[in-house]
Amino acid sequence: MAELAYRRVIVKVSGEALAGSGAPIDQTTLDRIAADLAAARALGVSLGVVIGGGNFVRGGTVAAGGIARSTGDSMGMLATVMNALALEGALARAGAPARTLSALVMPQVCETYRRDRALRHLEAGRIVLLAGGTANPFFTTDTTAVLRGCELGCDAVLKATNVDGVYSADPKKDKNARRYDRLTHAEALARDLKVMDATAFALAQENRMPIIVFAIAEAGAITATLRGEGRATVVEAG
C-alpha cells in the first residue's frame, strides 16, 4: 500500500456509464467496472461506490415533462438502487464481497444506510454500494458522493467520467480546450469549471476533500488512478 496515495475512497460512477446500445445496462460494461473495483479492493483500498440513475431516469428530464421535480428526483433515486443491485451481483461474480446500502428505506431489497453500518462493512473488506442518493430531492449523486466521502472518512472522491480529466471547455466541441493536471478548489470555482455541481463542489471545498476526475472507458482505469498511473485531474485544497 505504500505506493498508493489513497487508502479509502468513494468512486462516483454515472448511471449513463452502464448503458449499452438500446439497453439501460450493458452487461459487458457492468462486468468490466466490477472487475476494476474488485482489482482496486485487492490492492487493499477500502471502497465505497455511488452510482447514478441516469441510464433509467433523470429527475430534471422527467420534471420537464410535467411531473413534479421532487417526484422525478424520487424516481431517479430508485433508479440508483437498481443500478447498485446490478453492480452488487457483478461484484459477487468477480469474487468481491459487496453490500448495497440505500438512503431510502426498503428492507425487502437491501440494507438501509447508516454511517456505522457502512463503516462496519468497509472495515470487513466489503465494497459498499451507496444507493438512494441522500434520500432528498434536489440533491445530485455528485453531492451524495462527497457527503458520503466526508461521513466515512475517505481520502478522496474519484469521479469517473467520459473524459480523462478537467478541461477549460468541452474537448469534444473545442479542439483548443486546455486540460488541467492539478487544480485547487478555489481555481476550479473561479474558472467555473464543471467538475461537479455547485453543491457538491462547495461541500468538497469546505471539507478539503480531493476530487480526482478520470475516464472510466478503459479497463483498469480505477486501479491506474489509485496508483497515480492514469491520466486524471486532481482537484484539491490549495
Residue 192 backbone class (left: φ over 0; alpha: ψ -120 to 50; beta: rest):
left
CA distance 12 to 149: 10
- Does residue 125 fall inside a structural domain? yes
Please check the confidence at residue 234 and state whether its pLDDT lies above 90.
yes
- Does residue 160 fall inside a structural domain? yes
For the segment 166-190, the average pLDDT, to the nearest whole number, is 92
Res 194: pLDDT? 81
- Does residue 1 fall inside a structural domain? no
CA distance 44 to 223: 11
Of 35 and 217, the one with more pLDDT:
35
Q: What is the CATH number of the domain that holds 31?
A: 3.40.1160.10
Res 126: pLDDT? 98
Find, among 175, 166, 164, the residue nearest to 218 by Cα. Answer: 164
Contacts of 81 (CB under 8 A, 6+ apart): 100, 102, 104, 106, 109, 110, 131, 132
- Does residue 2 fall inside a structural domain? no
* Helices (H), ranges, the chain: 27-42, 59-64, 69-93, 115-123, 141-151, 185-190, 198-206, 221-227
- Look up the domain containing 147 and give its range: 8-236
Please check the confidence at residue 236 and state whether its pLDDT lies above 80.
yes
In this structure, what C-alpha cell is assigned to residue 220? 483498469
pLDDT tens, position by position, 122-156: 999 999 999 999 999 999 999 999 999 999 999 99
Query: For the CA atoms of the chain, what is the radius of gyration?
Result: 17
Res 195: pLDDT? 82
What's the domain count of the chain? 1
Q: How confident is the model at residue 2 (pLDDT cuts 50, 70, 90)?
A: very low
- Does residue 171 fall inside a structural domain? yes
Residue type for position 227: R
Res 1: pLDDT? 44
In this structure, what C-alpha cell is assigned to residue 198? 455547485
pLDDT tens, position by position, 20-36: 777 999 999 999 999 99
CA distance 197 to 194: 7
Q: How confident is the model at residue 218 (pLDDT cuts 50, 70, 90)?
A: confident
In this structure, what C-alpha cell is assigned to residue 53? 440513475
